[in-house]
Structure 1
Protein backbone atom coordinates (compact mmCIF):
# COMPACT_ATOMS: atom_id res chain seq x y z
CA UNK A 1 0.00 0.00 0.00
CA UNK A 2 2.83 2.37 0.92
CA UNK A 3 4.68 1.40 -2.28
CA UNK A 4 1.61 2.22 -4.35
CA UNK A 5 1.30 5.54 -2.55
CA UNK A 6 4.93 6.34 -3.39
CA UNK A 7 4.36 5.43 -7.05
CA UNK A 8 1.34 7.71 -7.26
CA UNK A 9 3.30 10.54 -5.62
CA UNK A 10 6.10 10.11 -8.19
CA UNK A 11 3.59 10.26 -11.05
CA UNK A 12 2.09 13.42 -9.55
CA UNK A 13 5.59 14.91 -9.23
CA UNK A 14 6.28 14.23 -12.93
CA UNK A 15 3.00 15.91 -13.85
CA UNK A 16 4.02 18.85 -11.68
CA UNK A 17 7.40 19.19 -13.38
CA UNK A 18 5.85 19.15 -16.86
CA UNK A 19 3.14 21.66 -15.96
CA UNK A 20 5.73 23.92 -14.30
CA UNK A 21 7.16 24.78 -17.72
CA UNK A 22 3.92 26.61 -18.55
CA UNK A 23 5.08 29.68 -16.62
CA UNK A 24 8.24 30.34 -18.62
CA UNK A 25 6.55 29.35 -21.89
CA UNK A 26 3.51 31.54 -21.23
CA UNK A 27 5.73 34.51 -20.47
CA UNK A 28 8.08 33.90 -23.40
CA UNK A 29 5.72 33.11 -26.30
CA UNK A 30 5.16 36.30 -28.29
CA UNK A 31 1.52 36.06 -29.37
CA UNK A 32 -1.85 37.30 -28.01
CA UNK A 33 -2.91 35.18 -25.03
CA UNK A 34 -6.19 33.84 -26.53
CA UNK A 35 -4.28 32.78 -29.66
CA UNK A 36 -1.66 30.98 -27.57
CA UNK A 37 -4.39 29.17 -25.64
CA UNK A 38 -6.16 28.20 -28.89
CA UNK A 39 -2.98 26.70 -30.36
CA UNK A 40 -2.27 24.98 -27.07
CA UNK A 41 -5.79 23.51 -27.11
CA UNK A 42 -5.95 22.30 -30.70
CA UNK A 43 -2.46 20.76 -30.71
CA UNK A 44 -3.08 19.20 -27.31
CA UNK A 45 -6.38 17.78 -28.59
CA UNK A 46 -4.65 16.27 -31.64
CA UNK A 47 -1.98 14.59 -29.51
CA UNK A 48 -4.59 13.31 -27.07
CA UNK A 49 -6.89 12.04 -29.82
CA UNK A 50 -4.02 10.09 -31.36
CA UNK A 51 -3.25 8.50 -28.00
CA UNK A 52 -6.91 7.65 -27.35
CA UNK A 53 -7.22 6.00 -30.78
CA UNK A 54 -3.96 4.08 -30.22
CA UNK A 55 -5.18 2.83 -26.82
CA UNK A 56 -8.70 2.24 -28.19
CA UNK A 57 -10.32 4.22 -25.40
CA UNK A 58 -14.10 4.48 -25.46
CA UNK A 59 -14.87 8.16 -26.14
CA UNK A 60 -18.64 7.87 -25.80
CA UNK A 61 -20.25 10.24 -23.27
CA UNK A 62 -22.81 8.32 -21.21
CA UNK A 63 -25.35 10.99 -20.28
CA UNK A 64 -26.41 14.60 -20.74
CA UNK A 65 -25.40 15.29 -17.16
CA UNK A 66 -21.87 14.08 -17.91
CA UNK A 67 -21.84 16.12 -21.13
CA UNK A 68 -22.75 19.25 -19.16
CA UNK A 69 -20.04 18.52 -16.59
CA UNK A 70 -17.47 17.98 -19.34
CA UNK A 71 -18.50 21.20 -21.11
CA UNK A 72 -18.32 23.17 -17.85
CA UNK A 73 -14.89 21.73 -17.03
CA UNK A 74 -13.67 22.72 -20.51
CA UNK A 75 -14.82 26.32 -20.03
CA UNK A 76 -13.21 26.45 -16.59
CA UNK A 77 -9.94 25.12 -17.95
CA UNK A 78 -10.07 27.85 -20.59
CA UNK A 79 -10.60 30.49 -17.90
CA UNK A 80 -7.73 29.03 -15.90
CA UNK A 81 -5.32 29.18 -18.86
CA UNK A 82 -6.38 32.64 -20.07
CA UNK A 83 -6.24 34.31 -16.65
CA UNK A 84 -2.96 32.56 -15.84
CA UNK A 85 -1.22 33.72 -19.02
CA UNK A 86 -2.46 37.28 -18.47
CA UNK A 87 -1.03 37.08 -14.93
CA UNK A 88 2.34 36.02 -16.35
CA UNK A 89 2.37 38.84 -18.92
CA UNK A 90 1.44 41.50 -16.35
CA UNK A 91 3.90 40.44 -13.65
CA UNK A 92 6.55 37.72 -13.86
CA UNK A 93 6.75 33.95 -13.67
CA UNK A 94 7.32 33.87 -9.89
CA UNK A 95 4.35 36.10 -8.99
CA UNK A 96 2.10 34.60 -11.68
CA UNK A 97 2.72 31.03 -10.54
CA UNK A 98 2.62 31.73 -6.80
CA UNK A 99 -0.67 33.65 -7.04
CA UNK A 100 -2.19 30.79 -9.03
CA UNK A 101 -1.29 28.42 -6.22
CA UNK A 102 -3.94 29.73 -3.92
CA UNK A 103 -6.10 27.17 -5.78
CA UNK A 104 -5.52 24.40 -3.18
CA UNK A 105 -7.23 26.59 -0.59
CA UNK A 106 -10.15 27.31 -2.92
CA UNK A 107 -10.28 23.56 -3.54
CA UNK A 108 -10.28 22.63 0.14
CA UNK A 109 -13.24 24.88 0.86
CA UNK A 110 -15.20 24.07 -2.31
CA UNK A 111 -14.62 20.31 -2.56
CA UNK A 112 -17.11 19.34 0.22
CA UNK A 113 -19.82 21.28 -1.66
CA UNK A 114 -19.36 19.17 -4.82
CA UNK A 115 -18.14 15.80 -3.55
CA UNK A 116 -18.98 13.77 -0.44
CA UNK A 117 -15.71 14.64 1.26
CA UNK A 118 -15.55 15.65 4.90
CA UNK A 119 -14.06 19.09 5.44
CA UNK A 120 -10.77 18.90 7.34
CA UNK A 121 -10.25 21.84 9.75
CA UNK A 122 -6.48 21.73 9.05
CA UNK A 123 -7.24 23.47 5.74
CA UNK A 124 -8.27 26.58 7.67
CA UNK A 125 -4.74 26.81 9.08
CA UNK A 126 -3.22 26.07 5.66
CA UNK A 127 -5.49 28.71 4.14
CA UNK A 128 -4.33 31.33 6.64
CA UNK A 129 -0.70 30.47 5.87
CA UNK A 130 -1.29 30.92 2.15
CA UNK A 131 -3.15 34.23 2.63
CA UNK A 132 -0.26 35.61 4.71
CA UNK A 133 2.10 34.47 1.97
CA UNK A 134 -0.02 36.29 -0.62
CA UNK A 135 0.03 39.45 1.50
CA UNK A 136 3.84 39.36 1.64
CA UNK A 137 4.01 38.58 -2.08
CA UNK A 138 1.96 41.61 -3.20
CA UNK A 139 4.20 44.67 -3.84
CA UNK A 140 1.32 47.09 -3.16
CA UNK A 141 -2.46 46.86 -3.18
CA UNK A 142 -3.13 49.16 -6.11
CA UNK A 143 -4.98 48.36 -9.32
CA UNK A 144 -2.50 50.59 -11.15
CA UNK A 145 0.37 48.27 -10.21
CA UNK A 146 0.83 45.63 -12.92
CA UNK A 147 2.21 43.09 -10.46
CA UNK A 148 -0.90 43.46 -8.31
CA UNK A 149 -3.02 43.07 -11.46
CA UNK A 150 -1.06 39.91 -12.18
CA UNK A 151 -1.89 38.58 -8.71
CA UNK A 152 -5.61 39.25 -9.24
CA UNK A 153 -5.58 37.41 -12.58
CA UNK A 154 -3.67 34.61 -10.87
CA UNK A 155 -6.40 34.35 -8.23
CA UNK A 156 -9.12 34.20 -10.91
CA UNK A 157 -7.11 31.48 -12.63
CA UNK A 158 -6.83 29.63 -9.31
CA UNK A 159 -10.59 29.70 -8.79
CA UNK A 160 -11.27 28.30 -12.27
CA UNK A 161 -8.58 25.66 -11.79
CA UNK A 162 -9.95 24.52 -8.43
CA UNK A 163 -13.51 24.01 -9.69
CA UNK A 164 -12.27 22.35 -12.89
CA UNK A 165 -10.24 19.85 -10.87
CA UNK A 166 -13.21 19.04 -8.64
CA UNK A 167 -15.45 18.38 -11.65
CA UNK A 168 -12.68 16.36 -13.31
CA UNK A 169 -12.35 14.18 -10.21
CA UNK A 170 -16.04 13.30 -10.40
CA UNK A 171 -15.63 12.46 -14.10
CA UNK A 172 -12.70 10.09 -13.42
CA UNK A 173 -15.21 7.70 -11.84
CA UNK A 174 -16.56 6.90 -15.32
CA UNK A 175 -14.03 8.21 -17.85
CA UNK A 176 -10.35 7.78 -18.60
CA UNK A 177 -8.17 10.78 -17.64
CA UNK A 178 -6.83 11.11 -21.19
CA UNK A 179 -10.32 11.22 -22.67
CA UNK A 180 -11.36 13.88 -20.14
CA UNK A 181 -8.45 16.07 -21.25
CA UNK A 182 -9.38 15.40 -24.88
CA UNK A 183 -12.95 16.58 -24.25
CA UNK A 184 -11.75 19.70 -22.44
CA UNK A 185 -9.16 20.76 -25.03
CA UNK A 186 -11.60 20.07 -27.89
CA UNK A 187 -14.29 22.24 -26.30
CA UNK A 188 -11.80 25.03 -25.76
CA UNK A 189 -10.59 24.75 -29.36
CA UNK A 190 -14.12 25.34 -30.66
CA UNK A 191 -14.93 28.13 -28.19
CA UNK A 192 -11.75 30.12 -28.95
CA UNK A 193 -11.71 29.54 -32.72
CA UNK A 194 -13.19 33.02 -33.52
CA UNK A 195 -10.11 34.77 -32.01
CA UNK A 196 -8.13 33.71 -35.08
CA UNK A 197 -10.17 36.13 -37.19
CA UNK A 198 -9.43 39.32 -35.23
CA UNK A 199 -6.12 38.69 -33.45
CA UNK A 200 -2.61 38.51 -34.90
CA UNK A 201 -1.47 34.93 -35.54
CA UNK A 202 1.49 35.67 -37.83
CA UNK A 203 4.10 34.90 -35.15
CA UNK A 204 3.18 31.22 -35.13
CA UNK A 205 5.95 30.59 -37.69
CA UNK A 206 8.68 31.61 -35.23
CA UNK A 207 6.89 30.47 -32.08
CA UNK A 208 5.76 26.98 -33.11
CA UNK A 209 8.57 25.04 -31.26
CA UNK A 210 7.48 26.61 -27.97
CA UNK A 211 3.79 26.12 -28.77
CA UNK A 212 4.53 22.43 -29.45
CA UNK A 213 6.26 22.10 -26.06
CA UNK A 214 3.31 23.80 -24.38
CA UNK A 215 0.79 21.56 -26.14
CA UNK A 216 2.57 18.20 -25.90
CA UNK A 217 4.62 18.27 -22.67
CA UNK A 218 2.56 20.66 -20.52
CA UNK A 219 -0.96 19.99 -21.79
CA UNK A 220 -1.19 16.48 -23.23
CA UNK A 221 1.24 14.79 -20.82
CA UNK A 222 1.28 16.99 -17.72
CA UNK A 223 -2.42 17.64 -17.33
CA UNK A 224 -3.41 14.06 -18.21
CA UNK A 225 -1.10 12.76 -15.47
CA UNK A 226 -2.57 15.33 -13.09
CA UNK A 227 -6.17 14.33 -13.84
CA UNK A 228 -5.19 10.66 -13.49
CA UNK A 229 -3.71 11.37 -10.04
CA UNK A 230 -7.17 12.45 -8.87
CA UNK A 231 -8.10 8.75 -8.81
CA UNK A 232 -5.63 8.18 -5.99
CA UNK A 233 -5.78 11.41 -3.95
CA UNK A 234 -8.47 13.79 -2.80
CA UNK A 235 -8.51 16.95 -4.93
CA UNK A 236 -7.32 18.95 -1.93
CA UNK A 237 -4.34 16.66 -1.30
CA UNK A 238 -3.38 16.47 -4.99
CA UNK A 239 -3.72 20.25 -5.33
CA UNK A 240 -1.51 21.08 -2.37
CA UNK A 241 1.17 18.55 -3.36
CA UNK A 242 0.98 19.99 -6.88
CA UNK A 243 1.81 23.40 -5.40
CA UNK A 244 5.51 22.59 -5.69
CA UNK A 245 5.11 23.82 -9.28
CA UNK A 246 6.30 27.38 -8.53
CA UNK A 247 9.66 26.07 -7.30
CA UNK A 248 10.24 24.31 -10.61
CA UNK A 249 8.75 27.24 -12.53
CA UNK A 250 10.95 29.86 -10.85
CA UNK A 251 14.06 27.76 -11.50
CA UNK A 252 13.10 27.34 -15.18
CA UNK A 253 12.40 31.09 -15.49
CA UNK A 254 15.76 31.92 -13.88
CA UNK A 255 17.64 29.64 -16.28
CA UNK A 256 15.85 30.58 -19.51
CA UNK A 257 14.43 34.09 -18.86
CA UNK A 258 16.95 35.40 -16.32
CA UNK A 259 14.14 36.35 -13.91
CA UNK A 260 15.43 36.85 -10.36
CA UNK A 261 12.77 36.76 -7.60
CA UNK A 262 12.71 39.51 -4.95
CA UNK A 263 13.14 38.90 -1.21
CA UNK A 264 9.36 39.25 -0.71
CA UNK A 265 8.78 36.62 -3.39
CA UNK A 266 11.08 34.21 -1.58
CA UNK A 267 9.43 34.89 1.79
CA UNK A 268 5.81 34.84 0.64
CA UNK A 269 6.43 31.94 -1.70
CA UNK A 270 8.13 29.90 1.00
CA UNK A 271 5.14 30.31 3.29
CA UNK A 272 2.77 29.25 0.52
CA UNK A 273 4.90 26.25 -0.38
CA UNK A 274 5.29 25.17 3.24
CA UNK A 275 1.71 23.93 2.92
CA UNK A 276 3.01 21.41 0.35
CA UNK A 277 5.32 19.80 2.89
CA UNK A 278 2.61 19.68 5.56
CA UNK A 279 0.02 18.10 3.27
CA UNK A 280 2.52 15.67 1.74
CA UNK A 281 3.34 14.29 5.21
CA UNK A 282 -0.35 14.14 6.14
CA UNK A 283 -1.30 12.30 2.93
CA UNK A 284 1.55 9.84 3.45
CA UNK A 285 0.23 8.88 6.87
CA UNK A 286 -3.39 8.41 5.83
Structure 2
Protein backbone atom coordinates (compact mmCIF):
# COMPACT_ATOMS: atom_id res chain seq x y z
CA UNK A 1 0.00 0.00 0.00
CA UNK A 2 2.99 2.32 0.37
CA UNK A 3 3.40 2.74 -3.40
CA UNK A 4 -0.25 3.79 -4.03
CA UNK A 5 -0.02 6.30 -1.15
CA UNK A 6 3.16 7.77 -2.65
CA UNK A 7 1.51 7.97 -6.07
CA UNK A 8 -1.54 9.63 -4.56
CA UNK A 9 0.51 12.39 -2.96
CA UNK A 10 2.61 12.86 -6.11
CA UNK A 11 -0.69 13.38 -7.92
CA UNK A 12 -1.67 16.01 -5.36
CA UNK A 13 1.46 18.04 -6.17
CA UNK A 14 0.49 17.98 -9.86
CA UNK A 15 -3.07 19.06 -9.03
CA UNK A 16 -1.78 21.90 -6.87
CA UNK A 17 0.17 23.22 -9.86
CA UNK A 18 -3.15 23.49 -11.74
CA UNK A 19 -4.05 26.57 -9.69
CA UNK A 20 -0.74 28.21 -10.57
CA UNK A 21 -1.38 27.63 -14.27
CA UNK A 22 -4.90 29.02 -13.92
CA UNK A 23 -3.41 32.18 -12.46
CA UNK A 24 -0.87 32.49 -15.27
CA UNK A 25 -3.25 31.97 -18.21
CA UNK A 26 -4.88 35.22 -19.34
CA UNK A 27 -8.28 33.86 -20.36
CA UNK A 28 -11.69 33.94 -18.69
CA UNK A 29 -12.62 30.82 -16.71
CA UNK A 30 -15.13 29.29 -19.21
CA UNK A 31 -12.82 29.91 -22.19
CA UNK A 32 -9.80 28.57 -20.29
CA UNK A 33 -11.63 25.37 -19.39
CA UNK A 34 -13.00 25.04 -22.94
CA UNK A 35 -9.43 25.01 -24.26
CA UNK A 36 -8.28 22.68 -21.46
CA UNK A 37 -10.99 20.07 -21.97
CA UNK A 38 -10.98 20.44 -25.77
CA UNK A 39 -7.26 19.69 -26.01
CA UNK A 40 -7.62 16.84 -23.49
CA UNK A 41 -10.54 15.28 -25.38
CA UNK A 42 -8.60 15.54 -28.66
CA UNK A 43 -5.52 13.88 -27.12
CA UNK A 44 -7.67 11.00 -25.90
CA UNK A 45 -9.41 10.65 -29.25
CA UNK A 46 -6.25 10.68 -31.38
CA UNK A 47 -3.52 9.37 -29.06
CA UNK A 48 -4.85 7.46 -26.05
CA UNK A 49 -8.07 6.09 -27.50
CA UNK A 50 -8.84 3.23 -25.10
CA UNK A 51 -8.45 -0.33 -26.36
CA UNK A 52 -10.37 -1.76 -23.45
CA UNK A 53 -13.39 -3.99 -23.16
CA UNK A 54 -16.57 -2.60 -24.78
CA UNK A 55 -18.29 0.02 -22.67
CA UNK A 56 -22.01 -0.45 -22.11
CA UNK A 57 -24.31 2.39 -23.14
CA UNK A 58 -25.52 3.20 -19.58
CA UNK A 59 -21.93 3.61 -18.36
CA UNK A 60 -21.07 5.80 -21.34
CA UNK A 61 -24.03 8.05 -20.62
CA UNK A 62 -23.07 8.22 -16.93
CA UNK A 63 -19.49 9.22 -17.80
CA UNK A 64 -20.71 11.89 -20.23
CA UNK A 65 -23.12 13.26 -17.61
CA UNK A 66 -20.34 13.26 -15.02
CA UNK A 67 -18.34 15.37 -17.47
CA UNK A 68 -20.95 18.10 -17.02
CA UNK A 69 -20.18 18.17 -13.29
CA UNK A 70 -16.47 18.12 -14.04
CA UNK A 71 -16.74 21.05 -16.45
CA UNK A 72 -18.79 23.05 -13.95
CA UNK A 73 -16.24 22.25 -11.23
CA UNK A 74 -13.32 23.51 -13.29
CA UNK A 75 -15.15 26.66 -14.40
CA UNK A 76 -16.01 27.58 -10.81
CA UNK A 77 -12.48 26.62 -9.68
CA UNK A 78 -10.79 29.00 -12.11
CA UNK A 79 -13.47 31.65 -11.58
CA UNK A 80 -12.61 31.63 -7.86
CA UNK A 81 -8.93 32.14 -8.72
CA UNK A 82 -9.73 35.04 -11.05
CA UNK A 83 -12.07 36.66 -8.50
CA UNK A 84 -9.72 36.29 -5.53
CA UNK A 85 -6.41 34.43 -5.65
CA UNK A 86 -4.89 30.95 -5.50
CA UNK A 87 -4.88 30.87 -1.71
CA UNK A 88 -8.57 31.67 -1.31
CA UNK A 89 -9.60 29.23 -4.03
CA UNK A 90 -7.60 26.28 -2.72
CA UNK A 91 -8.72 26.91 0.82
CA UNK A 92 -12.38 26.78 -0.20
CA UNK A 93 -11.63 23.60 -2.12
CA UNK A 94 -10.39 21.98 1.11
CA UNK A 95 -14.03 21.53 2.16
CA UNK A 96 -14.41 18.82 -0.51
CA UNK A 97 -13.88 16.12 2.13
CA UNK A 98 -17.00 17.22 4.01
CA UNK A 99 -19.16 16.96 0.90
CA UNK A 100 -17.53 13.70 -0.20
CA UNK A 101 -18.31 11.99 3.11
CA UNK A 102 -21.96 12.99 2.72
CA UNK A 103 -22.17 12.05 -0.99
CA UNK A 104 -20.50 8.67 -0.47
CA UNK A 105 -22.91 7.87 2.37
CA UNK A 106 -25.91 8.74 0.18
CA UNK A 107 -24.59 6.60 -2.67
CA UNK A 108 -23.96 3.62 -0.37
CA UNK A 109 -27.33 4.16 1.39
CA UNK A 110 -25.81 4.46 4.86
CA UNK A 111 -25.30 7.10 7.51
CA UNK A 112 -22.02 9.02 7.30
CA UNK A 113 -19.32 7.52 9.51
CA UNK A 114 -18.73 9.83 12.50
CA UNK A 115 -14.97 9.67 11.97
CA UNK A 116 -15.33 10.80 8.34
CA UNK A 117 -17.56 13.70 9.29
CA UNK A 118 -15.29 14.71 12.15
CA UNK A 119 -12.18 14.82 9.96
CA UNK A 120 -14.07 16.57 7.19
CA UNK A 121 -15.50 19.14 9.57
CA UNK A 122 -12.01 19.97 10.81
CA UNK A 123 -11.34 21.45 7.36
CA UNK A 124 -13.83 24.26 7.93
CA UNK A 125 -12.10 26.07 10.84
CA UNK A 126 -8.72 25.36 9.28
CA UNK A 127 -9.96 27.03 6.10
CA UNK A 128 -10.87 30.15 8.04
CA UNK A 129 -7.54 30.10 9.85
CA UNK A 130 -5.58 29.83 6.61
CA UNK A 131 -7.28 32.69 4.85
CA UNK A 132 -8.43 35.14 7.50
CA UNK A 133 -11.04 36.01 4.91
CA UNK A 134 -11.53 39.65 3.99
CA UNK A 135 -14.87 40.85 2.67
CA UNK A 136 -13.33 41.43 -0.76
CA UNK A 137 -12.56 37.70 -1.06
CA UNK A 138 -15.90 36.37 0.17
CA UNK A 139 -17.41 35.80 -3.29
CA UNK A 140 -14.31 33.92 -4.47
CA UNK A 141 -14.42 31.76 -1.34
CA UNK A 142 -18.12 30.92 -1.79
CA UNK A 143 -17.58 29.95 -5.43
CA UNK A 144 -14.62 27.78 -4.38
CA UNK A 145 -16.81 26.00 -1.81
CA UNK A 146 -19.46 25.37 -4.49
CA UNK A 147 -16.66 24.00 -6.68
CA UNK A 148 -15.77 21.66 -3.81
CA UNK A 149 -19.35 20.34 -3.77
CA UNK A 150 -19.11 19.55 -7.47
CA UNK A 151 -15.73 17.86 -6.98
CA UNK A 152 -17.18 15.61 -4.28
CA UNK A 153 -20.03 14.60 -6.57
CA UNK A 154 -17.96 13.45 -9.53
CA UNK A 155 -15.36 11.78 -7.29
CA UNK A 156 -18.04 9.52 -5.81
CA UNK A 157 -19.54 8.80 -9.24
CA UNK A 158 -16.10 7.94 -10.63
CA UNK A 159 -15.59 5.47 -7.80
CA UNK A 160 -18.82 3.74 -8.83
CA UNK A 161 -17.73 3.69 -12.49
CA UNK A 162 -14.41 2.09 -11.55
CA UNK A 163 -16.24 -0.55 -9.50
CA UNK A 164 -18.48 -1.28 -12.49
CA UNK A 165 -15.40 -2.32 -14.47
CA UNK A 166 -15.27 0.64 -16.86
CA UNK A 167 -11.69 1.30 -17.99
CA UNK A 168 -10.09 4.48 -16.52
CA UNK A 169 -9.07 5.66 -20.01
CA UNK A 170 -12.67 5.28 -21.23
CA UNK A 171 -14.05 7.12 -18.20
CA UNK A 172 -11.63 9.99 -18.73
CA UNK A 173 -12.29 10.25 -22.46
CA UNK A 174 -16.06 10.48 -22.12
CA UNK A 175 -15.86 12.84 -19.15
CA UNK A 176 -13.46 15.16 -21.00
CA UNK A 177 -15.90 15.25 -23.92
CA UNK A 178 -18.81 16.02 -21.60
CA UNK A 179 -16.81 18.72 -19.81
CA UNK A 180 -15.70 20.27 -23.11
CA UNK A 181 -19.25 20.51 -24.47
CA UNK A 182 -20.46 21.99 -21.17
CA UNK A 183 -17.73 24.64 -21.06
CA UNK A 184 -18.02 25.46 -24.77
CA UNK A 185 -21.79 26.00 -24.56
CA UNK A 186 -21.36 28.11 -21.42
CA UNK A 187 -18.72 30.25 -23.14
CA UNK A 188 -20.88 30.72 -26.25
CA UNK A 189 -23.82 31.97 -24.15
CA UNK A 190 -21.53 34.72 -22.81
CA UNK A 191 -21.21 36.12 -26.38
CA UNK A 192 -17.54 36.90 -25.91
CA UNK A 193 -15.64 38.64 -28.72
CA UNK A 194 -13.32 36.50 -30.86
CA UNK A 195 -10.25 38.09 -29.28
CA UNK A 196 -11.29 36.71 -25.88
CA UNK A 197 -10.92 33.16 -27.25
CA UNK A 198 -7.36 33.52 -28.57
CA UNK A 199 -4.47 32.63 -26.23
CA UNK A 200 -1.38 34.80 -26.55
CA UNK A 201 2.32 34.23 -25.95
CA UNK A 202 3.05 31.85 -23.08
CA UNK A 203 -0.67 31.13 -22.68
CA UNK A 204 -0.24 28.39 -25.30
CA UNK A 205 2.53 26.70 -23.31
CA UNK A 206 0.61 26.90 -20.02
CA UNK A 207 -2.55 25.57 -21.71
CA UNK A 208 -0.81 22.49 -23.11
CA UNK A 209 0.85 21.75 -19.76
CA UNK A 210 -2.54 22.17 -18.08
CA UNK A 211 -4.42 20.05 -20.63
CA UNK A 212 -1.94 17.20 -21.00
CA UNK A 213 0.05 17.06 -17.76
CA UNK A 214 -2.55 18.28 -15.26
CA UNK A 215 -5.62 16.90 -17.02
CA UNK A 216 -5.09 13.88 -19.29
CA UNK A 217 -2.32 12.26 -17.25
CA UNK A 218 -3.44 13.42 -13.79
CA UNK A 219 -7.14 12.67 -14.20
CA UNK A 220 -6.64 9.12 -15.51
CA UNK A 221 -4.03 8.62 -12.78
CA UNK A 222 -6.59 9.71 -10.19
CA UNK A 223 -9.22 7.28 -11.49
CA UNK A 224 -6.73 4.38 -11.41
CA UNK A 225 -5.89 5.19 -7.79
CA UNK A 226 -9.59 4.92 -6.88
CA UNK A 227 -9.07 1.15 -7.16
CA UNK A 228 -6.92 1.32 -4.01
CA UNK A 229 -8.76 3.96 -1.97
CA UNK A 230 -12.29 5.02 -1.14
CA UNK A 231 -13.52 8.30 -2.64
CA UNK A 232 -13.28 9.86 0.83
CA UNK A 233 -9.67 8.70 1.36
CA UNK A 234 -8.68 10.05 -2.07
CA UNK A 235 -10.32 13.40 -1.43
CA UNK A 236 -8.81 13.63 2.03
CA UNK A 237 -5.31 13.19 0.64
CA UNK A 238 -6.11 15.81 -1.97
CA UNK A 239 -6.67 18.20 0.92
CA UNK A 240 -2.89 18.54 0.80
CA UNK A 241 -3.51 20.44 -2.44
CA UNK A 242 -4.26 23.74 -0.65
CA UNK A 243 -1.06 23.45 1.36
CA UNK A 244 1.13 22.69 -1.67
CA UNK A 245 -0.69 25.24 -3.83
CA UNK A 246 -0.47 27.99 -1.23
CA UNK A 247 3.25 27.34 -0.82
CA UNK A 248 3.67 27.60 -4.61
CA UNK A 249 1.63 30.81 -4.65
CA UNK A 250 3.81 32.25 -1.89
CA UNK A 251 7.05 31.38 -3.68
CA UNK A 252 5.94 32.42 -7.18
CA UNK A 253 3.56 35.32 -6.55
CA UNK A 254 4.27 36.48 -3.00
CA UNK A 255 0.73 35.70 -1.85
CA UNK A 256 2.09 34.87 1.61
CA UNK A 257 2.20 38.62 2.24
CA UNK A 258 -1.61 38.60 2.13
CA UNK A 259 -2.01 35.67 4.55
CA UNK A 260 -3.30 35.81 8.07
CA UNK A 261 -0.80 34.59 10.72
CA UNK A 262 -3.20 31.73 11.45
CA UNK A 263 -2.18 30.18 8.14
CA UNK A 264 0.44 27.92 9.73
CA UNK A 265 -2.02 26.64 12.32
CA UNK A 266 -4.65 25.96 9.68
CA UNK A 267 -2.13 24.15 7.47
CA UNK A 268 -1.05 22.03 10.46
CA UNK A 269 -4.67 21.02 11.09
CA UNK A 270 -5.10 19.96 7.46
CA UNK A 271 -1.92 17.90 7.62
CA UNK A 272 -2.98 16.29 10.90
CA UNK A 273 -6.42 15.45 9.50
CA UNK A 274 -4.86 13.77 6.47
CA UNK A 275 -2.70 11.57 8.67
CA UNK A 276 -5.47 10.85 11.18
CA UNK A 277 -7.48 8.28 9.21
CA UNK A 278 -4.49 6.21 7.91
CA UNK A 279 -3.11 6.10 11.44
CA UNK A 280 -6.49 5.09 12.87
CA UNK A 281 -6.78 2.27 10.29
CA UNK A 282 -3.25 1.10 11.10
CA UNK A 283 -3.96 1.07 14.85
CA UNK A 284 -7.22 -0.83 14.28
CA UNK A 285 -5.47 -3.46 12.15
CA UNK A 286 -2.72 -3.96 14.72
CA UNK A 287 -5.29 -4.41 17.48
CA UNK A 288 -7.17 -6.95 15.35
CA UNK A 289 -3.93 -8.84 14.63
CA UNK A 290 -2.95 -8.94 18.29
CA UNK A 291 -6.34 -10.36 19.28
CA UNK A 292 -6.12 -13.21 16.78
TM range (shorter): 0.7 to 0.9
How many Å separate the matches in 1 of 2:142 and 2:217? 28
The answer as to 2:186 corresponding to 1:201 is no
Query: Which position in structure 1 is the counterpart of 2:65?
Result: 72
- Deviation string, structure 1 residues 166-206 (Cα, Å, up to 9, x no partner): 00111112211122111111112223224266251123454
Q: Which runs of 5+ in 1 are unaligned?
A: none
Match of 1:161 among 119, 139, 151: 151
Query: Quick one: which of 92, 102, 117 aligns to 1:99?
Result: 92
- Count of residues in correspondence between the two structures: 276
In structure 1, how many angstroms separate the alpha carbons of the residues matched to 2:224 and 2:248?
25
How big is each residue's C-alpha offset from its partner over 1:55-110, in whole Å with a ceiling of 9 and x where there is no partner?
6234x43033x234213311111111111111112222122112101101111122
Q: CA deviation at 1:49?
A: 3.1
Quote the residue 2:290 is aligned against. none
Name whichever of 83-92 and 267-276 sits farther off. Answer: 267-276
Cα pair 1:41 1:188 within 8 Å, conserved: yes
Equivalent residue number for residue 57 of structure 1: 52
- CA separation in 2, counterparts of 1:99 and 1:124? 17
Structure 1 position 132, deviation (Å): 1.7
- In structure 2, how many angstroms separate the alpha carbons of the residues matched to 1:269 and 1:219? 26
Conservation of the 8 A alpha-carbon contact between 1:138 and 1:148:
no
The Cα RMSD (Å) is: 2.2
TM-score by length of 1: 0.88
1:190–1:128 Cα change, 3 Å: closer
Residues 1:8 and 1:29: Cα distance change in structure 2 (over 3 Å) = same
Instruction: Note closer, same or farther for the CA distance 1:239–1:71 as it changes in structure 2 (3 Å cut).
Output: same
Q: How do 1:24-63 residues align onto structure 2 when only pairs under 5 Å count? A: 24-53=20-49, 56-58=51-53, 60-63=54-57
TM, length-normalised to structure 2: 0.86
Larger radius of gyration: 2
Say which of 144, 151, 156 aligns to 2:141. 151
Q: Does 1:131 align with 2:124?
A: yes
Correspondence list, 1:1-286, <5 A: 5-53=1-49, 56-58=51-53, 60-64=54-58, 66-115=59-108, 119-137=112-130, 139-140=132-133, 145-173=135-163, 174-194=165-185, 195=187, 198-199=192-193, 200-260=196-256, 261-284=259-282
Distance 1:91 1:283 in 2: 38
Shift of residue 116, structure 1, vs aligned partner: 5.8
